[in-house]
């Protein structure tokens, strides 16, 4: 979590682009288009992700008062995924293949039959299990043009950036030494130097090289 309580570990993003006029009036519709939709075990989808209200991961209805907090847009990114253990799936597929051969008086199953059996077994196991749910908050400070996303996994951050872009039509650029330097408004000369500077050496060269290649010293 993070926006309302808990540990403050997050990735900072800079928002590129401007929100259109009347954005706040449209925000509920925009979010609803990308709202989280629960997984259906009878469907082939293995994972779903989308928005939920912050602190209410089971709700998929949005109202302005639970999204817009003054100059902040707060949302939860819910990501559900079926995680059927490989060993369990393999054992059930193997059992189903044996049963299929007995039922159809066959000595072996073809590649296509094996694939069909695997799909059916997977669907059966999905019906018996619950998807793994992950909810991560984000707070978009519309005045400062900054988004805080309470997660630092590169894969999850990438998924979040895509969902944000699809929802609001705006790009997010992650903070790092380069983008942060640009954000703090350097002079043109400084920007030129920012691109040109090379890493400095602070240690005595011989000691530093010795530390990296002890066999050569």
Partner 1 sequence: MDLVDLINTRRFLGNEFLLWLWFKSECFEAQLHTEEHDTLEVWIDDALTLEAYLAETERNTISGGSPAYSPEAKTALRHGKRPTKAKLGVVKEGREWSFNLKAEDLSFSGVKIPALLSREEEEQFYERMFLLEELEQIVGTLYKEFLAIRLDVHAWSTLMLPALKDWVQRDEVCTPEHYPSAPLKERLGLVTHPHLAAGA
Site string for partner 1, 122-151 (x = CB under 8 A): -----------------x-x--x-x-x---
Chain positions 51 to 80 lying near partner 1, rule: CB under 8 A, are 69-70, 72, 74
Exactly one of 104, 195, 215, 216 binds partner 1 (CB under 8 A); that residue is 195
Site string for partner 1, 8-47 (x = CB under 8 A): xxxxx-----------------------------------
β-strand 171-174 against 132-141: which pairing, if any? Answer: unpaired
Please give the Cα distance from 68 to 31 (Å, whole number). 11
Name the one range near partner 1 by CB under 8 A: 26-34, 98-106, 160-168, 178-186: 178-186
Based on the shown chain and the rule CB under 8 A, indicate whether residue 217 belongs to the binding site for partner 1.
Answer: no
Nearer to partner 1, 119 or 194 (CB): 194
Please give the Cα distance from 106 to 109 (Å, whole number). 7
Q: How many residues bind partner 1 (CB under 8 A)?
A: 49
What phi and psi values does residue 182 have, to the nearest 5 degrees? -65, -40
Angstrom distances, CA of residue 21 to CA of 27, 69, 93, 155:
11, 18, 55, 32
Nearer to partner 1, 68 or 96 (CB): 68
Exactly one of 115, 153, 203, 217 binds partner 1 (CB under 8 A); that residue is 203
Based on the shown chain and the rule CB under 8 A, indicate whether residue 88 belongs to the binding site for partner 1.
Answer: no
List of long-range contacts for 165-173, beta carbons under 8 Å, 24+ apart: 166/34, 167/30, 167/31, 167/33, 167/34, 167/51, 168/19, 168/30, 169/17, 170/15, 170/16, 170/17, 170/19, 171/15, 171/16, 171/17, 172/13, 172/14, 172/15, 172/16, 172/147, 173/13, 173/14, 173/16
Based on the shown chain and the rule CB under 8 A, indicate whether residue 215 belongs to the binding site for partner 1.
Answer: no
Based on the shown chain and the rule CB under 8 A, indicate whether residue 179 belongs to the binding site for partner 1.
Answer: yes
What phi and psi values does residue 146 have, to the nearest 5 degrees? -125, 145
Exactly one of 21, 177, 188, 216 binds partner 1 (CB under 8 A); that residue is 177
Binding footprint of partner 1 on the chain (CB under 8 A): 3-5, 7-12, 69-70, 72, 74, 139, 141, 144, 146, 148, 152, 173-181, 183-184, 186, 189-190, 193-195, 197, 199-204, 207-212
């Amino acid at each position: 979590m993070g926006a309302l309580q808990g540990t403050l570990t997050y990735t900072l993003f800079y928002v590129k682009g401007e929100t259109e006029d009347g954005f706040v009036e449209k925000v509920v519709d925009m979010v609803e288009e990308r709202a989280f939709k629960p997984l259906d075990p009878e469907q082939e989808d293995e994972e779903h992700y989308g928005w939920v209200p912050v602190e209410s991961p089971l709700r998929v209805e949005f109202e302005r008062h639970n999204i817009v907090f003054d100059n902040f847009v707060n949302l939860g990114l819910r990501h559900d995924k079926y995680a059927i253990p490989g060993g369990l799936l393999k054992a059930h597929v193997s059992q189903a293949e044996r049963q299929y051969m007995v039922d159809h008086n066959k000595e072996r199953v073809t590649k296509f039959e094996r694939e069909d059996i695997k799909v059916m077994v997977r669907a059966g196991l999905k019906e018996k299990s619950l998807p793994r749910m992950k909810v991560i908050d984000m707070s978009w400070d519309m005045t400062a043009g900054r988004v805080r996303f309470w997660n630092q996994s590169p894969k999850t951050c990438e998924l979040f950036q895509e969902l944000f872009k699809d929802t609001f039509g705006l790009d997010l650029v992650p903070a790092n030494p380069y983008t942060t330097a640009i954000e703090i408004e350097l002079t043109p000369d400084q920007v030129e130097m920012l691109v040109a500077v090379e890493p400095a050496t602070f240690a005595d060269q011989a000691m530093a090289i010795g530390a990296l290649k002890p066999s050569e010293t």
